[in-house]
Amino acid sequence: MKRSVIDILDLSVEELNGLMDTAEDIIAHPDDYADRCRRKKLVTLFFEPSTRTRMSFEAAMYELGGNVLSMTDAASSSASKGESVADTARVISCYADIIAMRHPKEGAALVAANNATVPVINAGDGGHCHPTQTLADLLTIRREKGGFSGLTVGLCGDLKFGRTVHSLINALSRYDGVRYVLISPEELKLPSYVKEEAIKPRGIPYEQTESLEEAMPKLDVLYMTRVQKERFFNEEDYLRLKDSYILDPAKMTLGRRDLIVMHPLPRVNEISVAVDRDPRACYFKQVLNGKYMRMSLILKLLEEAAS
């Protein structure tokens, strides 16, 4: 049966664990998966630029033995002639076995999923959801820390507009024993509804601070985010806040030896390049893990669609 993934909450904890198990198996036995999507086509529909996510999906499909059709420039597509997302989804369904879509408008992926006859994976809908980034994050934490129980996870930077942060909190909060340290300037604090809906009902301990230095010694995981210019209506606000939290080697000395540092990338200057040499820096591993989790998800959705 056809099924789409728009939000990380579309996947149960059991399914998340299953996807991570498959990803681990892909990593251990890549040849076993090299032909699993033969004669299947992934269409990547990207209405706004994102080289990394698009290439990750495409590499994932190629490594499963499938084919890829790409729409990378909305200006040259029917969208520029005014075609609706609903119609685009219906048309592309005629060519594709599965669709990965990024769109600047929030909710666009749900509209596509409601109208497509093939599975749709949300590859980012504005500031709303980006579930496959969260899948990459979860696998990275599980691989590096062995699981989620007992972890203190620091989330730093733009916690207000950062969709990756909201999705990660929604996903991690379903695992027992996680606690949060929310590190941000006042203007970019985590929205209260995320706390009310994902953190407080489960009684998850959390603290909020403006100081990255104070938080560092407490953390098992530090998830850095970029203050994104495109999420601001006002450029002055962006310029004032963009350098609020920069992770450098001096701050890294305050962290535990087994800390891991994550970032959804691309970074601008919130993690200095010198940190890359620190073995605790895991953000490039995240990129690779993202490809494996996308492979795992593509496989799952194609198998479900065929059953």
Partner 1 sequence: MNIDSIQTGIVIDHITAGRAMRLYELLGLGSLDCSVAIIQNAVSKKMGRKDIIKIDADIPVNFDVIGYVDPTATVNIIRDGRLVEKREIGMPETLTNVIRCKNPRCITSTEQELDHIFKLTDRLKEIYRCAYCETRAN
Q: Measured between alpha carbons, how far is 279 from 257 in angstroms, rounded to an integer?
A: 9
Give the shortest CB-252-to-partner 1 separation in angstroms: 35
Q: Which is nearer to partner 1, 8 or 61 (CB)?
A: 8
Give the shortest CB-20-to-partner 1 separation in angstroms: 26
Give the shortest CB-103-to-partner 1 separation in angstroms: 8
Q: Which residues contact 156 (CB under 8 A, 6 or more apart)?
A: 183, 184, 212, 215, 222, 223, 224, 225, 245, 247
303: left (phi over 0), alpha (psi -120 to 50) or beta: alpha
Give the shortest CB-191-to-partner 1 separation in angstroms: 10
Q: Measured between alpha carbons, how far is 159 from 30 in angstroms, rounded to an integer?
A: 36
What radius of gyration, in Å, describes the C-alpha atoms of the chain?
19
- 130 labelled catalytic: yes
Q: Which residues contact 288 (CB under 8 A, 6 or more apart)?
A: none
Candidates 39, 81, 257, 277; catalytic one: 81
- Interface positions with partner 1 (CB under 8 A): 84-86, 103-108, 110-111, 125-128, 193, 197
Q: Which is nearer to partner 1, 203 or 279 (CB)?
A: 203
Pairing state between β 260-262 and 221-224 = parallel
Candidates 22, 40, 44, 53; catalytic one: 53
Query: Is the Cβ–Cβ distance between 163 and 136 less than 8 Å?
Result: no
Omega into 266 within 30° of 0, i.e. cis? yes
Give the shortest CB-250-to-partner 1 separation in angstroms: 37
Q: How far apart are the first and last CA of the chain?
A: 6
Candidates 3, 29, 38, 52; catalytic one: 52
- 53 labelled catalytic: yes
Angle at 56 between CA 166 and CA 269, to 5 degrees: 60
Candidates 102, 142, 143, 300; catalytic one: 102
Q: Which is nearer to partner 1, 103 or 263 (CB)?
A: 103
Q: Which is nearer to partner 1, 193 or 307 (CB)?
A: 193
What the block records as the tokens of 44 is 């990547």
Q: Which is nearer to partner 1, 86 or 91 (CB)?
A: 86
Catalytic residues: 52-53, 81, 102, 130
